[in-house]
Structure 1
């Protein structure tokens, strides 16, 4: 707001001449017109303010014994403040408030003078009116800021949801690929079983006919010989002796494939924790294992994963969120590999906290990048390959659990992320992004 705010504060008062007597000024301050003011302006013949005569100063004079007799006929120039607070109408509201509060003395006994750009008197402003205008301005800005904050939170929620959906899409693609491999050879084994069991059905049918001829009273030797010959050929094709080994191997492979599928399903269920409470007592090692199962497809062609999991006490946390953090760190470690590398996942505990370390021997992170990796939208990936929200969300999740996540890295040697979660955290956790 510019000078218009000060114009609204301006109180047009007839200024005093320097020759006006002190007694006349005292009488004027008693009128209803001037009761709202702490002082009256004194202006020279050129229209420029010379000073202010304050109500407080006059009160001190006339409270004295014989004050009116001694001072009443003297000019106001003898008692005015020659250095009043002067504000130009061209001054903005904030600057005017800064100038006045910087020079203001307490208790407030004077108003301030308003002048135009040529320095001529235009009126009087009251400090309380100025402060009220500032209060209204702050209230207006607060309303704008609250609205902006609501819009920002809505945008943040949408961005976080987009990041989660992107991560979910990658995870589902990886799980689907992992499921396709055991499903593929289970399907092939079933097809082989169909081919191998076909001759068995033929043998069973040939032997059934032979049994009919053997039990028939009117069977001739020619028909019986043909049935025996057909049964012999069917047995030769079926080869039951060698078939037993083949079938046993096929059944073992099929059960192994189904077991892998079951492991993935259980891992996905444990990773998502869809059937668990928002906050519960969990073993953090279980979170690590289920996340490794889900991340296996994205890691297996890029790095060897080595785990060193210590004995951990159970801790209250939101397991699906912790899994999201671990998955993000593992995927980042795999993407940092320039060749086939190594990822080490460790867990341990002391009396204060639980710790999880994810370390890789990839390309490393430069120092200037390390300072910003937890900032929202910061990413070193090409356009369309990353949103820059993964580590920011991970940081917020760990922070909401009362813990911390730190990074140490050296270019060319690798990176290590360290998560710490306190054992004595509050039972009710904040819900993170």
Structure 2
């Protein structure tokens, strides 16, 4: 029979025994070199169907007895055979064969197993040791594949996380650029207005300087003096400096306000991306919230009013840039969940063991099926191209790495609330000492 199954490679074409053979002849055959590797020999009927196995162990029990060979050596071998041996079809997969054999195997192992074809006829013997070696090789091969797959998965995960970070960074930079453009726009306009308003003043200063030169010159002719006086009077009338005081004051105040807004955004961006801050540095989470709100202002301002209820918090060790990333994600998600104009309420408070941050929106809320998968990687309700589904998954991992918890509660039509709990270090120290 020709077969390509994995079991076929384990098959040993051992010549079967007839049930009429004597026990002594079978014992002698087991001692031959070609049969020393086997624990048993098969017994097959005239049609080629297996009847059982006679084991080396059973024969030893007979011949170890006093006069055992003389008393029972001439008896037919079917008297000592196992009529219910392990029989496996060659069509069986390696895994199924291993499951079948280990499920029926008795210890210590005293027999091999019989291999049959599709018609049930005997084709050879298989040893348990060979089967275990084949399974070990198969497992090693699959482990190698799994290790390669795990490496590929980790590389893909790193790339996806980096992609999500770059997407968030792009969104953040676009928002900050938009926020910078507004004050920069009217600062630029104010500077242009200042240039236009200051031009007549320069002309007045020039005319008055010419008049002063003429007055100081004893040789200045009356015609030249009259012209200088006339030019100074015209420049004075055109410049009207008494009317410019209010306009210039307003322009300077607006320009300074715009520059302050730009400075606030720059400081907020610097505080937001505090990558150089170590996990051991203690941070006030309220500062993180204010920084994240500055960066998220462009995403929020047209969608919701941000209401802050920030309690007094102890400083805790954390990676502020990572916490800022979580807060930015929650704030932008909250704004995107609001239809029309709503509210985003951010609240903080502290307890003996932990500090808490609550981000609650008045958006459309989520169904239970969506809520159950909200932290799953790649799960998103946004249209294709508008979200990777990694934002909340990364946020969950960041909070988990900080030893904290993040939970969500939501109801359709009533909004969503995320709650972050971060442990206080002194609470952990007290717990360890206790």
Alpha-carbon distance between aligned partners in 1 of 2:271 and 2:262, rounded to the nearest angstrom: 14
Residue matched to 1:36 = 37
Residue matched to 2:345 = 344
Residue matched to 2:259 = 258
Give runs of aligned pairs for residues 29-428 of structure 1, distance below 5 A: 29-277=30-278, 280-424=281-425
The alpha carbon displacement at 1:141 in A equals 0.7
The alpha carbon displacement at 1:331 in A equals 0.6
Q: Structure 1, residues 21-69: CA drift from partner, whole Å, max 9, x if none?
A: 1112222222222211111111111111111111111111121222222
Moved more, 256-265 or 23-32: 23-32
The alpha carbon displacement at 1:329 in A equals 0.8
Are the counterparts in 2 of residues 363 and 413 from structure 1 also a CA contact under 8 Å? yes
Q: Structure 1, residues 58-111: CA drift from partner, whole Å, max 9, x if none?
A: 111121222222211111111111110111111111111111111111111111
Alpha-carbon distance between aligned partners in 1 of 2:382 and 2:80, rounded to the nearest angstrom: 74
The alpha carbon displacement at 1:277 in A equals 3.8
Are the counterparts in 1 of residues 410 and 417 from structure 2 also a CA contact under 8 Å? yes
Are the counterparts in 2 of residues 354 and 421 from structure 1 also a CA contact under 8 Å? yes
Are the counterparts in 1 of residues 269 and 291 from structure 2 also a CA contact under 8 Å? yes
Alpha-carbon distance between aligned partners in 2 of 1:275 and 1:51, rounded to the nearest angstrom: 75
Alpha-carbon distance between aligned partners in 1 of 2:156 and 2:399, rounded to the nearest angstrom: 22
Indicate the RMSD between aligned Cα atoms, in angstroms: 1.8
The alpha carbon displacement at 1:197 in A equals 1.3
SS of equivalent residue, structure 1 residue 269: helix
The alpha carbon displacement at 1:4 in A equals 2.6
Moved more, 22-31 or 49-58: 22-31
The alpha carbon displacement at 1:5 in A equals 1.7
The alpha carbon displacement at 1:3 in A equals 5.6
Count, aligned residues: 426
Alpha-carbon distance between aligned partners in 1 of 2:422 and 2:223, rounded to the nearest angstrom: 87
Alpha-carbon distance between aligned partners in 2 of 1:338 and 1:124, rounded to the nearest angstrom: 73
Are the counterparts in 1 of residues 278 and 318 from structure 2 also a CA contact under 8 Å? no
Moved more, 78-87 or 57-66: 57-66
SS of equivalent residue, structure 1 residue 172: helix
Residue matched to 1:7 = 8
Are the counterparts in 2 of residues 11 and 123 from structure 1 also a CA contact under 8 Å? yes
Structure 2: state its 5+ residue gaps.
Answer: 429-434
Q: 1:218 to 1:424 in 2, by over 3 A?
A: closer
SS of equivalent residue, structure 2 residue 5: helix
The alpha carbon displacement at 1:342 in A equals 0.3
Alpha-carbon distance between aligned partners in 2 of 1:19 and 1:328, rounded to the nearest angstrom: 83
Are the counterparts in 2 of residues 3 and 93 from structure 1 also a CA contact under 8 Å? no
Structure 1: state its 5+ residue gaps.
Answer: 428-433
Are the counterparts in 2 of residues 279 and 319 from structure 1 also a CA contact under 8 Å? no
Are the counterparts in 2 of residues 352 and 423 from structure 1 also a CA contact under 8 Å? yes
Alpha-carbon distance between aligned partners in 2 of 1:218 and 1:128, rounded to the nearest angstrom: 128
The alpha carbon displacement at 1:167 in A equals 1.5
Q: Structure 1, residues 324-359: CA drift from partner, whole Å, max 9, x if none?
A: 111111111001111110000112222222211110
Are the counterparts in 2 of residues 347 and 355 from structure 1 also a CA contact under 8 Å? yes
Moved more, 26-35 or 209-218: 26-35
Alpha-carbon distance between aligned partners in 1 of 2:402 and 2:136, rounded to the nearest angstrom: 39
The alpha carbon displacement at 1:230 in A equals 2.2
Alpha-carbon distance between aligned partners in 2 of 1:278 and 1:187, rounded to the nearest angstrom: 41
Alpha-carbon distance between aligned partners in 2 of 1:5 and 1:207, rounded to the nearest angstrom: 108
Are the counterparts in 1 of residues 5 and 92 from structure 2 also a CA contact under 8 Å? no
Alpha-carbon distance between aligned partners in 1 of 2:225 and 2:16, rounded to the nearest angstrom: 142
**TM-score, with normalisation over the residues of structure 1?**
0.94
